[in-house]
Structure 1
Amino acid sequence: MAGGSGGPAGGPRRRGREIALQVLFQWEAAGNPLEAGLEWAAGEYNPGEEVLAFAADLAGGVTRHRLDIDGLIARYARDWDLERLARVDRNILRLGIYELLYAGRPDVPPPVAINEAVELAKRYSSEDAARFINGILGQLARDRGLAGEGRAAAPATAGQDGPAGGVTAGDGGSGAALPAPMTAGPVPAPGAVPGSGEPGGSI
């Protein structure tokens, strides 16, 4: 896999989700077309047609339903303005909500969609963000009668399960940095604290 050991890992679906997250991050940060992001990912990681097609389906689905998805995030992220969320957390939530409500994949039941979003947050953001995302998706699943055996948590509120530190949309989020060869500026390196002035980096 090109790009080193920090690239997308795991099974085909998980790799596809990671690539979709990277493409959406670049799309929002620098206005890069999804097609350009997917082309970059194909050259950087050589993920194979199945993985790339899954990533394209996810990223395209998120952008098609973005207004509705963002409305749900604003509703469920109580006391958190959408733009205050770190860009990486916002796009993980978008992916999770898309898989939960819009993707229509019977082989990805709600508990799996929630768990995969939580795992993305653990890898690319922080444990606090993972709990926050789990809370929002879990509550949404319960409200839609989709919770089942999911790892649902209490709804996230500011000061409760919200991401620690109140990172802003201009931050890459804490934890592992997303690849940023096409973004407008550096993304915090793994372990860097947003706003700390530490140099950015990429996987």
Structure 2
Amino acid sequence: MSDHRHQKRIKIMQDLFACTFSEQNTALCLEERDPESTVYQILQVIDELDEKLQSVAPERPLHDINQVDLAIMRTTLYESEHKETPKKVLINEAVEMAKEFGSESSSRFVNGVLATLLMPNGDVPEEKIEKTEVLESTEEQQPESEPSTEE
């Protein structure tokens, strides 16, 4: 059973991706969308969202970022500023969407950017996969314990 809110976020992200694929698409979306729709509202503040995203990853111009990742981060950043959803939930949702729709490295990139923006005090949710990988690699690196000589 899929969470209704998760499906709604996916739909918004996909619509935003389609609307921002080209300037012509963006203009058309603004004409055709209901001004009350979330996608329309995101498009109205997209420059502000992009400015915030760019400030976190200045070495990667927005046009070089995977467009799916960008749509995920824009959607998440907008929701963080206009809804009362806990930031950890938003980051986890964004990471899940990045795993499902992005490239192999998308989830880490999205997690890093959004965690920096939304969790500036370092209270960052870790990806489940990364945590498992860290645990496995730590176990492999630990030296075998020597028998105790104490009696």
TM-score by length of structure 2 reads 0.70
The CA deviation string for residues 88-127 of structure 1, in whole angstroms up to 9 with x for no partner, is 1111110111122x2232xx10000111111111111124
**Matched-pair contact (CA < 8 Å) for 1:138–1:152:** no
Alpha-carbon distance between aligned partners in 1 of 2:79 and 2:44, rounded to the nearest angstrom:
13
Give the equivalent residue in structure 2 for 1:98: 78
Count of residue pairs the alignment pairs up: 122
Shift >2 Å, 4+ stretches: 34-38
Structure 1 gaps, min length 5: 1-8, 39-52, 154-203
State the Cα RMSD in Å. 2.5
Q: Is the 8 A contact 1:25 1:91 kept in 2?
A: yes
Aligned equivalents of 1:35 and 1:81: distance in 2?
Answer: 28
**Structure 2 residue aligned with 1:25:** 17
- Counterpart CA distance in 1 for 2:55 and 2:79 is 18
Query: Quick one: which of 49, 62, 65 aligns to 1:82?
Result: 62
Equivalent residues of 2:14, 2:71 under 8 A apart = no
Distance 1:13 1:34 in 2: 24
Partners of 1:36 and 1:99 in 2: CA distance: 22
Report the equivalent of 1:133.
Answer: 110
**Partner amino acid for 1:93?**
M
Is the 1:21–1:95 contact (alpha carbons within 8 Å) kept by the matching residues of 2?
yes
* 1:70 and 2:50 are equivalent in the alignment: yes
**Residues 115, 151 of structure 1: 8 Å contact kept:** yes
- When normalised by structure 1's length, the TM-score is 0.53
Change (3 A) 1:22 1:128: same
Task: Output one character per residue of 1:20-62: Cα deviation in whole Å (capped at 9) or x when no partner.
Answer: 1111111112514167579xxxxxxxxxxxxxx9xx32x2332
Where do residues 54-203 of structure 1 align in structure 2 (5 Å cutoff)? 56-57=37-38, 59-100=39-80, 102-105=81-84, 108-143=85-120, 148=123, 150-151=124-125
